[in-house]
Amino acid sequence: MPKSILITCILALLMSAFLIQGCSSGNADGKDKKSSSDSTAVGDSSLAADDSSADKSANEKSKKNRKKGKGGDEEKDNKELEYIPVETQTAVLGDIAHYLLLSASLKTEEQVAVYPETGGIVRQILAEEGDRVNEGDTLLILDDEEKRINRDEALVTYKEREAAFERAAELRKQNLISKEETDQAKFNLDRARLSYERAELELRRTKILAPISGYIAQRQINRGDLVNMQTQLYNLVDPRDMIAEIHIPEAELPRIDKRKKVLVTTDIYPGKEFSAVIKRISPVVDPASGTFRVTIGVHDDRELLKPGMYVGVKIVTDVHKNVVLVPKQSVIFENDMPFIFIVQDSLAMKLPLKPGYDDNRNIEAKDLISVGDKIVIVGQTGLKDSAKVKIIDVKAIQKQARELAESNGKKKIASNK
């Protein structure tokens, strides 16, 4: 083998050995580094695992707490939902009356149609509709020119006959004329006096006077109209003496007398009652309607009521004293039977009502209800027996809502400024 080839092979072997040693050393270092790196990663992973475990534990604890709190609130809310809100009013002891409630139109005891007592043309109108007049006041004046002339003519004739009678009387004293002539002069004087008085009366009648005190309800003529004794001029009413005629079933006849208390109401003045009395009771029953007529006299010093008004007449026929009263609005009906709910220990107890007398606000409870019982007046519709209820004050809630709305409104106004 040539020497050069041998040297080349030796060098190649040395280089291979050197490369193998370097690679082994590099692999060892890399392994150590990798081991060190892996060791660090394991440590970090262990810490991360610990942190993750702690976070998970904290999260689970927080979730448990939230779940516990949420469950408590839900339980509380569900418990609150079991109670039905209602409003109550206490049963009280009091008096209640039985009464007849009827309706009628008001009239006046004195209502006069005014007619002239002589004919003529309307010259002057002195009173209009709605005016208050007194008895004897002049309402209108008719043309009186002709009547005045007739009066003056009658006066002249009367004076003439008066003078003739005086002369006849003087002559009679002297026996110059007979007694018959003197009597005839006296008769002529009397006729002339009556004619004059009649003419004076006709003249006075041209002034139409109020026959009663009261109000002009209606004027039916105008200035310039020609009227006669059949022409209605005015309609006068006296509101100081108002009446109402009602018709009561004959079955109530034994319980009606002039001592019964009577009240009159009208929608024009809600909440106001006018006292009244029974003035007349007809002893005759109308066979067609089975009713008898009762005339009510109404007291109204302020003259608020007017003729023709539609009014309600309440006649008290009997009174129950010291009885248990419950609000009328609390009553519900099932199969035409009345029931009420009372609250006992947060439970609504359904009780049948045995009613007695009733009025606009209360009803008499004859059985089962005691003074002081809490009667449900709002929320009883659809309420079940023994249902759980919570008493609320609706008025207080409405007041708070109004105050809150007013407060928000004031804040809004202030913010706009």
- Say whether both 373 and 250 belong to one domain: yes
pLDDT at 43: 39
**Total number of domains in the chain:** 2
Evaluate whether residue 323 is within a structural domain: yes
pLDDT tens for each residue of 174-230: 888 898 999 999 999 999 999 999 999 999 999 999 999 989 999 999 999 999 999
pLDDT tens for each residue of 334-358: 888 999 999 998 899 999 999 999 8
% of residues, the chain, pLDDT over 70:
80
> Which secondary-structure segment (H or E) carries 107?
strand 92-108
Contact assessment for residue 348 and residue 340, using Cβ atoms and an 8 Å cutoff = no
pLDDT tens for each residue of 249-280: 998 888 898 988 899 999 999 889 899 999 99
- Mean residue pLDDT of the chain comes to 81
> Which secondary-structure segment (H or E) carries 9?
helix 3-81
pLDDT tens for each residue of 54-78: 444 545 544 555 444 445 555 555 5
- Say whether both 218 and 253 belong to one domain: no
Evaluate whether residue 172 is within a structural domain: yes
Strands 387-391 vs 84-90: parallel, antiparallel or unpaired: parallel
Instruction: Label residue 80 by pLDDT band (50, 70, 90).
Output: low
- Say whether both 126 and 209 belong to one domain: yes
Evaluate whether residue 110 is within a structural domain: no
Average pLDDT over residues 226-238: 93
pLDDT at 47: 33
- Say whether both 185 and 143 belong to one domain: yes
pLDDT-wise least confident of 33-37, 56-60, 104-108, 206-210:
33-37
pLDDT at 82: 76
Please determine, for residue 22, whether its predicted confidence score (pLDDT) is greater than 80.
no
pLDDT at 236: 92
> Is the pTM higher than 0.85?
no
Interatomic CA distance for residues 372 and 386, integer angstroms: 19
- Say whether both 124 and 222 belong to one domain: yes
Evaluate whether residue 38 is within a structural domain: no
Residue count of the chain, please give it.
417
Interatomic CA distance for residues 223 and 141, integer angstroms: 10
pLDDT tens for each residue of 278-291: 999 999 999 999 99
- Say whether both 248 and 315 belong to one domain: yes
CATH number at residue 374: 2.40.30.170
- Domain residues for the domain of 363 are 242-391
Evaluate whether residue 126 is within a structural domain: yes
